Amino acid sequence: GQREVWLWWLCLCSFPLRRARATAMPRKASRRSGPTDKGTCAQQQASAVAASAKACEAPCSGTWRPSGGLVCSMSPSSLNPFFQAMEKEISAAFGSGDPEDVLSRAFKLDVTRDDISTLQPQGWLNDKVINFYMSLLMERSKKEGYPAVYAFSTFFYSKLSSTSHKGVKKWTKGVDIFEHDIILVPIHLRVHWTLLVVDLREKTITYFDSLGQRGDQICKTVLKYLEEESKEKRNIELTASEWTLHSMGPEEIPQQDNGSDCGVFVCKFADFISRDKPIIFTSEHMPYFRRKMVWEIIHQQLL
């Protein structure tokens, strides 16, 4: 039921998921309820839910049901009110209303009910939802204990590939991307979302595609961009031979089993990578992630 769903993702960060292959980043060889006011009940509730999620980071025992749901040994009685409140909010966001109602406003983005609806089952995530989520990842990375993350807009790569560095050099005005640990590049390929990750610590460029397609040329295009950006902004030459470019194969990362989850995969690839965590989810978890992302976007807070 719904209670088990919420217990599942509250425990996700620590529970060793069965039937999910842990995949680390290769190493060397390897997008109307406006913003809530400070101190409101909604914000206090968000803080309490986040605290409950953090409490679940401790080792938690549990078992998988044949249907794929996790039954946690934690007693849900104290957390149940939060589950109910969250489920109510998510259902309301998916419910009837003006499609242009703004449900979340931050990062110079207004996320409307229509945008949020793309997170419903079988929905195709749009640019606004993905860009908003990437901004949440950047905000989280400012906290102690997280690698420094910079995420490009979903429009970046298409502009880069059609104009080269000269067409996007102003996109990083006032930003030194080389001061970060990880650079995220969400990519839209007509009807498919993929993710490219630059790890500046390891000098790797890695391509993640939940349909298993290779992105060797995309990796080369981004490496060329980094060379030109470094020379233009820092007057430092990058040595291409020191970099490892790799397209993750279908045996290395989880794959989608439908024609609509690619955007969610991109967001969750980015989420796990931006925490230096192994990728331990599967396509079975997409319905949970979709609902969780609704709450996170509305509250502008990652759990």
| pLDDT tens sequence across 256-294 | 999 999 999 999 999 999 999 999 999 999 999 999 999
90 vs 16 pLDDT, higher one: 90
Residues 148 and 167 sit within 8 Å (Cβ to Cβ) = no
Angle (CA) 90-93-99 rounded to 5° is 165
Question: Residue range 125-142: average pLDDT?
Answer: 98
Q: What was the pLDDT predicted at 27?
A: 39
Residue 182: pLDDT band by 50, 70, 90 thresholds?
very high
- Listed range (42-51, 54-63, 289-298) with the worst mean pLDDT: 54-63
pLDDT range class, residue 176, cuts 50, 70, 90: very high
User: Cα–Cα distance between 138 and 49 in angstroms, integer?
Assistant: 21
Which CATH number belongs to the domain containing residue 88 in this structure? 3.40.395.10
CA distance 266 to 270: 6
Catalytic residue among 262, 267, 285, 299: 262
Instruction: Fill in the DSSP letter of residue 258.
Output: S
Q: How far is CA 70 from CA 7, 67, 285, in A?
A: 8, 9, 11
Q: In the annotation, is 262 catalytic?
A: yes
Window from 54-63, 204-213, 252-261 with minimum mean pLDDT:
54-63
- What lies within 8 Å, CB to CB, of 79 at 6+ separation is 6, 7, 10, 52
Alpha-carbon span 89 to 2, nearest angstrom: 13
Quick one: average pLDDT of 58-66? 32
**Mean pLDDT score, 67-86:** 54
pLDDT score of 249: 97
Residue 79 binned pLDDT confidence (cut-offs 50, 70, 90): low
pLDDT of 23 higher than 50:
no
The pLDDT score that the predictor gives to residue 47 is 52
Helix or strand holding residue 216 (H, E): helix 216-234
Q: Are strands 62-64 and 244-247 parallel, antiparallel or unpaired?
A: unpaired
Number of domains in the chain: 1
Amino acid at 185: V
Active-site residue flag, 192: yes
Which is catalytic among the residues 115, 199, 209, 271?
209
| Dihedral sign (CA 279, 285, 286, 290) | negative
Residue 299 has pLDDT above 80, yes or no: yes
pTM, entire model? 0.78
Q: Which domain holds residue 182?
A: 2-31+35-299
Catalytic residue among 13, 110, 192, 276: 192
**Nearest to 115, CA basis, from 301, 303, 293:** 293
